């Protein structure tokens, strides 16, 4: 009797689930969800070819230095790089004296304490210091950026889907809101203080276009500083900050594959040698 009741209850439960599933499917077919402005206008990041792409990719040091220059002259006013030290710049081709000069001349100084008075003070940066924060705290950062908090860029290419391509597309994607989109979705007009960018998740971003004109940065190596070039270079630099050991990882992976192939060859040879006189 107990088994019969359990079977009836189980069958009823399955029936209810089936009815609910059928209702959900039929509802989705007969009354589909209307597309949103984000789903219609949001764009997938454009492909970006860099020397570091691929299994055998290596960083282009000259490009990384150009990217650092763009970060220094354009991005550092709002965005921090708190996981990177000045001395790490030696890994992208700067000499120790150059790194020391960059740290010493950095606009923002390190917070410190006056040993004589005990009052808060600042001091010049040294190579072992990490890049200083552009704002004292989150409140100050929001107050200076229309209540938006500029993200730290140390790991930005790891923290975003299609990281490097996303950064490049975002920097070059600012445009006016399409009239056709406004006609279809009149309620999504870009609010005052925001900027339309189809590569941003909700289409409207608080950050104004950081790269506004060709020649905004004067490259030391003579490369023509177009908006496309500057955005590519700073994207490459931020790829390095997120994964500075990329080249070592690629080399280790390649060496591991070679070792496995040699080991498999030796194992096969040993197998053939041990069992060569055994009749099947």
Name the binding residues for heme c: 75, 78-79, 207
Question: How many angstroms separate the CA atoms of 78 and 81, rounded?
Answer: 10
Of the candidates 93, 77, 74, which has an alpha carbon nearest to the alpha carbon of residue 240?
93
**Residue 268 backbone dihedrals phi, psi, to 5 degrees:** -65, -40
C-alpha angle 193-215-208 in degrees, rounded to nearest 5: 10
The Cβ-side half-sphere exposure at 256, using a 13 Å CA radius, reads 7
**Residue 231 backbone dihedrals phi, psi, to 5 degrees:** -70, -35
Residue 36: count other Cβ atoms within 10 Å of its Cβ. 12
Of the candidates 206, 71, 53, 236, which has an alpha carbon nearest to the alpha carbon of residue 143?
206
DSSP E strands in 80-234: the ranges are 110-113, 120-123, 195-196, 204-205
User: Which residue ranges make up the annotated binding site?
Assistant: 75, 78-79, 207
């Amino acid at each position: 009797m107990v088994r019969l009741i359990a079977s009836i209850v189980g069958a009823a439960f399955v029936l209810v689930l089936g009815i609910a599933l059928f209702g959900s499917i039929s509802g989705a077919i007969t009354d589909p969800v209307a597309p949103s402005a984000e789903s219609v206008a949001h764009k997938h990041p454009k492909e970006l070819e860099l020397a570091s792409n691929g299994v055998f990719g290596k960083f282009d040091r000259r490009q990384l230095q150009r990217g650092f220059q763009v970060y220094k002259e354009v991005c550092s006013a709002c965005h921090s790089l708190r996981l990177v030290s000045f001395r790490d710049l030696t890994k992208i081709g700067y000499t120790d004296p150059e790194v020391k000069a960059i740290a010493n001349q950095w606009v923002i100084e390190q917070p410190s304490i006056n040993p004589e008075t005990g009052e808060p003070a600042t001091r010049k940066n040294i190579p072992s210091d990490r890049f200083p924060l552009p704002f004292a705290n989150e409140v100050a950062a929001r107050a200076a950026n229309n209540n938006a908090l500029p993200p730290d860029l140390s790991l930005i290419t790891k923290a975003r889907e299609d990281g490097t391509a996303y950064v490049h597309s975002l920097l070059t994607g600012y445009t006016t809101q399409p009239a056709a989109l406004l006609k279809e979705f009149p309620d999504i007009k870009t609010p005052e203080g925001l900027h339309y960018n189809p590569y941003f998740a909700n289409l409207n971003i608080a950050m104004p276009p950081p790269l506004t004109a060709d020649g905004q940065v004067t490259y030391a190596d003579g490369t023509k500083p177009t908006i496309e070039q500057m955005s590519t270079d700073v994207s490459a630099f931020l790829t390095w900050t997120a994964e500075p050991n990329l080249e070592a990882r690629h080399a280790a992976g390649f060496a591991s594959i070679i070792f496995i192939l040699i080991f498999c060859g030796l194992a096969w040879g040993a197998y053939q040698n041990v069992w060569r006189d055994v009749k099947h």
